[in-house]
Amino acid sequence: MPVIRSPAWRAPHAQKRNPSQKGAIMPNRTPEEKTLLAKLASGLLDGSVGTDLTTTGGSTVWTRIEDGTPARLKQGPGTRFFDGRENVEKPGRLHVLAEWTTDDEKLAFLQKFGWLMADDDARSYSAKFKPEE
């Protein structure tokens, strides 16, 4: 016999969920946040964020927005060897260090890294969360 669960088993803080994103909680958003999320979803903010960082081990770390999803990537150093005929270059392994997928995570990303973007709305939104000195 199947177990029937009442809505009381849900957490008291559970809010309306957006069916397009699993696990995303949709609290009331400001118009500015809605505009920024729409820009992310439409691809207007796609591209590189900030500058690349090269570690002491030779790996390259960068942050990029692709298809509206921000991600931090790392590629290890490549190798070069001679195979008896020519020099062969093998690229380093690509790792995904962080990915911001839900709306809340995307807004947290824009709060932290929006000042590095070329978009004026993202810069002004990020400036609101800059720590005071």
pLDDT in tens, the chain (133 residues): 443 333 433 444 444 444 455 545 556 889 999 999 999 999 999 999 999 999 998 899 999 999 999 999 999 998 999 989 999 999 999 999 999 999 999 999 999 999 999 999 999 999 998 887 7
Q: What Å distances lie between residue 121 and 28, 34, 104, 110, 131, CA to CA? A: 19, 11, 17, 10, 18
DSSP, collapsed to helix, strand or coil, labels residue 88 as: strand
Would you state the pLDDT for residue 132? Answer: 77
Residue with tokens 């118009």: 31
DSSP 8-state code for residue 78: P
What is the DSSP pairing of strand 94-99 with strand 47-54? unpaired
What angle (nearest 5°) sits at the alpha carbon of residue 114, between those of residues 110 and 117?
135
Would you state the pLDDT for residue 8? Answer: 39
Q: What is the DSSP string of the chain?
A: -PPP--GGGS-TT---B-TTSTT-B-----HHHHHHHHHHHHTTT-EEEEEEEE-TTS-EEEEEEETTEEEEEEEPPPEEEE-SSSEEEEPPPEEEEEE--SHHHHHHHHHHHGGGSS-HHHHHHHHTTPPP-
Would you state the pLDDT for residue 113? Answer: 93
The pTM (predicted TM-score) of the whole model is: 0.72
Would you state the pLDDT for residue 13? Answer: 43
